[in-house]
Structure 1
Amino acid sequence: MVLSLHQQHHKETVMKAENLQFYYGEFQALKNINLEIKKNQITALIGPSGCGKSTFLRTLNRMNDFIPESRSEGKIYLHDLEITNPAVDVVDLRKKVGMVFQQANPFPVSIYDNIAYGPRIHGRKDKQFLDQTVESCLRSVALWDEVKDDLRAPATSLSGGQQQRLVIARVLAIQPDVILMDEPTSALDPLSTNKLESLILRLKEKYTIVIVTHNMQQAARVSDQTAFFLNGEIVEYGSTQSIFSNPQHEKTKQYIMGEFG
């Protein structure tokens, strides 16, 4: 069912799902997912609510482990590491695969401490290193000039768009390989959304990004690859350009045209 006619093979695969099934109790949320995520590309996951795209996103850093009665079958790899193996150190995994949620969730501490938090829990205490990390991460998300005089201010005093960029800076501080984003702009106004999309495009120079979005225009603007989910399955996967301009599957076409969802 999956069409990878348009797949680009020259890019190195960073993560890969093989025959992934996922269950919440009796309910099967993901059915036989096979997907390769390419290095330094933005992969968009689209589809109507409840189709499995956020569930799939959370399997990539095992966030679903927190949900009782949930289980998965099949395999997910990060490079050559099978991350679905129970022996995998999940803390270490989440350092390599960072997560940005729909609602910005800064910690209730200062701007500085939000970003220094990750390096500190991984054992980096020296002030010079932390200062440099805070500055470079804030610069990476184009927030440094806005907050450099207020680093001790509570992170919660920032606007929604600034908070979301701060949260991304916090993820960058742990130097991940992959950044997962679950509808990162859905709570933002158009201007903040625009800034965040520009940021996402810049970040792919260094990182591999997987983004869940309900916004078709956003998927078309920022992503390189798109996977269309429906009822827990991937109906179609390929280059964003081909999915949007020439979908191979009738359901994909209907969804992109706004006929359901």
Structure 2
Amino acid sequence: MVLTLHQQHNKDIAIKAENLQFYYGTFQALKNIQLEIEKNKITALIGPSGCGKSTFLRTINRMNDFIPESRTEGKIYLHNLEITNPNVDVVDLRKKVGMVFQQANPFPVSIYDNVAYGPRIHGRKDKAFLNQTVESCLRSAALWEEVKDDLHAPATSLSGGQQQRLVIARVLAIQPDVILMDEPTSALDPISTKKLESLILKLKEKFTIVIVTHNMQQAARISDQTAFFLNGEIVEYGTTQSIFSNPRHEKTKQYIMGEFG
């Protein structure tokens, strides 16, 4: 039996991890993760390199399934559906949970075709619908005014910041519930970073956003909740204001103060 995703909302919790463990072969990368991520909030995952942030992010849309000899134990729920269940329709899951990577990865086709790609592979061929979707998603990604006269230009001709916003428009075109972002501004200049942060803040009105970042100032600026990962565990989780102004754990305080990481 294949399970599909339905809009069943459990209070305001979009994603819930229960006793989640993840292994690369014999190496345990995630240990007993317990986490509830609120709907229409920005949740930042912080911590030093190799602490499990990106691994956790990729368990949410089952991208780790591609890794040989890896395994997941425990459960993750998306709107009450247990997405770690092997019978879940993973294609359907990835439609509900979009992903934006560290390096912008536009397809080597036109700007228009990048945004239209998702609807097309899900069977939408109607030109009027695709035109409307492309414009709407590029507007939502704060890119329309910059590219509206060059929609058939190669996506690779855009600047790095524009490419990252194009990738977000491509994600929006599949109408996800959740957007995962793995260090989306780390390769961008300060001006492009500011634009993308403004966009992320606007997107939370419609989407639940989980972002991995090494930039403490960025986490403080844009996130509502912050989870501090260390050695595959969540040391502390709470409102961003409380984590940054009054951390309960000494390790959290040391990391935020830049004493390690």
Q: Which residue of 2 aligns with 1:118?
A: 118
Which stretches of structure 1, 4 residues or longer, exceed 2 Å deviation after superposition? none
Gapped runs of 5+ residues in structure 2? 1-9
How do 1:44-193 residues align onto structure 2 when only pairs under 5 Å count? 44-193=44-193
Aligned length: 252
Q: Which amino acid aligns with 1:201?
A: L
Query: Helix, strand or coil for the counterpart of 2:33?
Result: strand
1:11–1:38: 8 Å Cα contact kept in structure 2?
Answer: no
Query: Helix, strand or coil for the counterpart of 1:124?
Result: coil
Gapped runs of 5+ residues in structure 1? 1-9
Query: Helix, strand or coil for the counterpart of 2:253?
Result: helix
Q: Residue 231 of structure 1: CA displacement?
A: 0.1
**Separation in 1, partners of 2:123, 2:117:** 10
Q: Which residue of 1 aligns with 2:255?
A: 255
Q: Residue 178 of structure 1: CA displacement?
A: 0.2
Q: Which residue of 2 aligns with 1:6?
A: none
TM-score of the superposition, structure 2-length normalised? 0.96
Q: Which residue of 2 aligns with 1:17?
A: 17
Query: Helix, strand or coil for the counterpart of 2:196?
Result: helix
Query: Helix, strand or coil for the counterpart of 2:132?
Result: helix
Q: Which residue of 1 aligns with 2:40?
A: 40
Q: Percent identity?
A: 90
Deviations 1:124-146 (A, max 9, x none): 11000000000000000110000
Q: Is 1:222 aligned with 2:222?
A: yes
Query: Helix, strand or coil for the counterpart of 1:115?
Result: helix
Q: Residue 11 of structure 1: CA displacement?
A: 6.5
**Separation in 2, partners of 1:39, 1:26:** 34
Query: Helix, strand or coil for the counterpart of 1:31?
Result: strand
Q: Which amino acid aligns with 1:187?
A: A
**Separation in 2, partners of 1:11, 1:197:** 27
Q: Residue 80 of structure 1: CA displacement?
A: 1.2
Q: Which residue of 2 aligns with 1:3?
A: none
Query: Helix, strand or coil for the counterpart of 1:237?
Result: strand
**Separation in 2, partners of 1:61, 1:195:** 26
Q: Which amino acid aligns with 1:59?
A: T
TM-score of the superposition, structure 1-length normalised? 0.96
Query: Helix, strand or coil for the counterpart of 1:107?
Result: coil
**Separation in 2, partners of 1:21, 1:116:** 36
Query: Helix, strand or coil for the counterpart of 2:107?
Result: coil
Q: Which amino acid aligns with 2:178?
A: V
